[in-house]
């Protein structure tokens, strides 16, 4: 017999099967020796009270054996000779589009400007150690896109986007821990993601799909409002009438190309700010109301939102036990973001703290038309690069100093490998952003006493939160509003924000594209 119920227990009980069994037995009146297995279906931590609790949804097996059934992958047919769909970009959107193409009987041809996960590592080393940014291979570009060396948090703010559970199960099928199906806030970690991405690539190739690395797309061939082909940097032209464009929010050359070719794009508001680093111990003390974190609790995350003079200021992509990474995609700019290993065992906690921008903020950049937000973003990244010394060092300021408007006389150690230069954030940002940050951090301190401290350091800028451009598409066919056969997809096109939603959008675009192919073939 199986029973499903919810229970609230201490962190120690939640992590000890024997104690959990005792607790279940006591609370539900089931004799201890009759419980043969307890399967955890969902787990979340409730840290709102001093006594921290863990909420569990359980499936309890009573006098019945439990057999562990691995999560199966879908049947992927051989598509060697099937109709082709070209996918530009091998990020989560592109790769999940490719898998869905195969599942539905089409052959994906994935064109990726960067390198495979392993070769890409050398370019990450070069950014961190030698301050060299390769325009095709960096933290955003390369196999797996921005998702590969990301933090791998797998939650999405909007459940309306689609079937989150389906994507999580696929990730488990390709090697992620099945705990991502259980945790309320699932996380994979930077050390585990490359293996999962490589497993996806191997499946695509094994079933007859194609992935071409070092293949930057530099032009789209369009005739009579129909996509006819794509051109690569080396001059190769690939004829095709179906293109899924999943190039991510950092592919500025693609946005420029669309604008130059008069293919409709729109300016889109996004958010921008700094990445703040505290010691993980301090965040644990604030969030868990304790001196030292219990060994049964994970390094604590935090999430905070405030309204400051009519603008949202909020934490973004918070990485407990993590590291700040140099995420520029071109020389002459600096960009921060964060990641953490699966164990989240680094001594520091970092988070983007960003301010909601509005279209009117880009007024000065109007001459760039729909690229005005992108130029606003780019100018801040370039200014930060200049102010910090024209390397991959970033402008930094202790948090209390930022609020008080003082350049920090010294800076503490940072997880950001290329290093820091003490700069007043006033010089990096337009005045309204700087003032919002100053006011906002004081407000943060009221909700999280101790947050505003000079032991914490702001690194600038956190600027690639979402795309500054939307590529408009038809709501039903998902084709570009002017160009038949072109499917704007994922975060870069403005239809996703994060790994899961990008993967969901990739699947959606593949389905929409295949529907039209099937109609033609019927």
Which residues bind to ligand FAD, rule: CB under 6 A?
A: 88-94, 111-114, 139-142, 145-147, 150-153, 216-217, 246-248, 251, 254, 317, 325, 327, 337, 339, 490-492, 496, 498-500, 502
Place of tokens 């006493």: 449
**Dist CA 273 CA 463 (whole Å):** 6
DSSP-derived secondary structure letter, 284: H
What is the helix (H) or strand (E) element at residue 189, kind and residue range? none
Count other C-beta atoms under 10 Å from residue 50's C-beta.
8
CB of 46 to ligand FAD, least distance (A): 22
d(CA 253, CA 135): 11
Min CB(443)–ligand FAD separation in Å = 25
Nearer to ligand FAD, 146 or 222 (CB): 146
Task: Provide the minimum distance between the beta carbon of 94 and ligand FAD in the complex, in angstroms, as a whole number.
Answer: 6
The smaller minimum CB distance to ligand FAD, of residues 77 and 269, is found at 269
Identify the residue whose tokens are 């992935």: 211
Of the candidates 211, 206, 239, the one whose C-alpha atom is nearest the C-alpha of residue 79 is 206
Q: Which residue number, 91 or 373, has a Cβ lying nearer to ligand FAD?
A: 91
Q: Which is nearer to ligand FAD, 154 or 357 (CB)?
A: 154
Angle at 336 between CA 259 and CA 152, to 5 degrees: 95
Which residue do the tokens 């690194």 mark?
A: 459
Which residue, 13 or 463, has its beta carbon nearer to ligand FAD?
463
Three-state DSSP state, 456: coil
Mutual orientation of helices 372-387 and 252-260 as an angle, nearest 10°?
A: 140
Q: State the minimum distance, in angstroms, from the CB of residue 274 to ligand FAD.
A: 15
Say if CB 56 and CB 23 are below 8 A apart: no
| Residue nearer to ligand FAD on the CB measure, 222 or 254 | 254
CB of 492 to ligand FAD, least distance (A): 6
Pick the closer one to ligand FAD by CB: 489 or 514: 489
Report the C-alpha gap between 458 and 248 in whole angstroms: 26
Which helix (H) or strand (E) covers residue 2, if one does? strand 2-9
Separation between Cα atoms, residue 209 and residue 110, nearest integer Å: 8
CB of 363 to ligand FAD, least distance (A): 28
| Residues 496 and 504 sit within 8 Å (Cβ to Cβ) | yes
Name the minimum Å distance from CB 441 to ligand FAD. Answer: 22
CB closer to ligand FAD out of 236 and 307: 236
Compute the least distance from the CB of residue 63 to ligand FAD, in Å: 42
């Amino acid at each position: 017999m199986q029973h499903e119920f919810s229970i609230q227990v201490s962190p120690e009980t939640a992590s000890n099967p024997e104690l959990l069994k005792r607790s279940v037995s006591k609370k539900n009146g089931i004799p201890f020796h009759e419980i043969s297995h307890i399967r955890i279906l969902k787990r979340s931590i409730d840290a709102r009270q001093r006594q921290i609790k863990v909420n569990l949804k359980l499936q309890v097996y009573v006098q019945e054996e439990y057999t562990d059934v691995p999560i199966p992958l879908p049947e992927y047919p051989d598509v060697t000779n099937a109709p082709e769909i070209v996918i530009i970009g091998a990020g989560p959107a592109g790769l999940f589009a490719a898998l869905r193409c195969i599942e539905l009987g089409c052959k994906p041809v994935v064109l990726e400007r960067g390198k495979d996960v392993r070769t890409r590592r050398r370019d990450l080393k070069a950014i961190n150690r030698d301050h060299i940014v390769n325009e095709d291979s960096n933290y955003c570009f390369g196999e797996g896109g921005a998702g590969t060396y990301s933090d791998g948090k797998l939650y999405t703010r909007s459940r309306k986007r689609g079937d989150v559970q389906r994507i999580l199960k696929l990730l488990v099928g390709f090697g992620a821990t099945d705990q991502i199906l259980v945790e309320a806030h699932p996380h994979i970690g930077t050390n585990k993601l490359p293996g999962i991405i490589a497993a996806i690539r191997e499946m695509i190739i094994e079933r007859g799909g194609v992935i071409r690395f070092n293949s930057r797309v530099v032009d789209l061939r369009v005739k009579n409002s129909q996509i006819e082909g794509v051109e690569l940097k080396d001059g190769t032209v690939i004829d095709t009438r179906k293109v899924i464009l999943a190039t991510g929010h950092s592919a500025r050359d693609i946005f420029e190309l669309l604008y130059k070719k008069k293919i409709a794009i729109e300016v889109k508001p996004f958010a921008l700010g700094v990445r703040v680093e505290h010691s993980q111990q301090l965040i644990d003390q604030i969030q868990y109301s304790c001196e030292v974190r219990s060994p049964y609790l994970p390094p604590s995350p935090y999430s905070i939102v405030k309204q400051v003079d009519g603008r949202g200021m909020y934490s973004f992509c918070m990485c407990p036990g993590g590291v700040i990474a140099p995420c520029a995609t071109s020389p002459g700019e600096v960009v921060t973001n964060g990641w953490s290993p699966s164990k989240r065992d680094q001594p520091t906690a970092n988070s983007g703290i960003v301010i909601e921008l509005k279209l009117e903020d880009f007024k000065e950049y109007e001459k760039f038309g729909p690229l005005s937000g992108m130029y606003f973003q780019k100018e801040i990244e370039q200014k930060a690069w200049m102010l910090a010394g024209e390397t991959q060092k970033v402008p930094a300021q202790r948090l209390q100093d930022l609020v008080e408007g003082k350049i920090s006389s010294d800076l503490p150690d940072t997880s950001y490998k290329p290093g820091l230069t003490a700069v007043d954030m006033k010089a990096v940002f337009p005045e309204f952003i700087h003032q919002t940050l100053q006011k906002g951090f004081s407000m943060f301190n009221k909700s999280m006493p101790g947050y505003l401290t000079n032991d914490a350091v702001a690194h600038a800028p956190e600027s690639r939160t979402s795309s500054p451009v939307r590529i408009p598409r038809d709501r039903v066919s998902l084709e570009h509003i002017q160009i038949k056969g072109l499917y704007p997809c994922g975060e870069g096109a403005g239809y996703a924000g994060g790994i899961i939603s990008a993967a969901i959008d990739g699947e959606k675009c593949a389905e929409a594209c295949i529907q039209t192919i099937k109609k033609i073939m019927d």
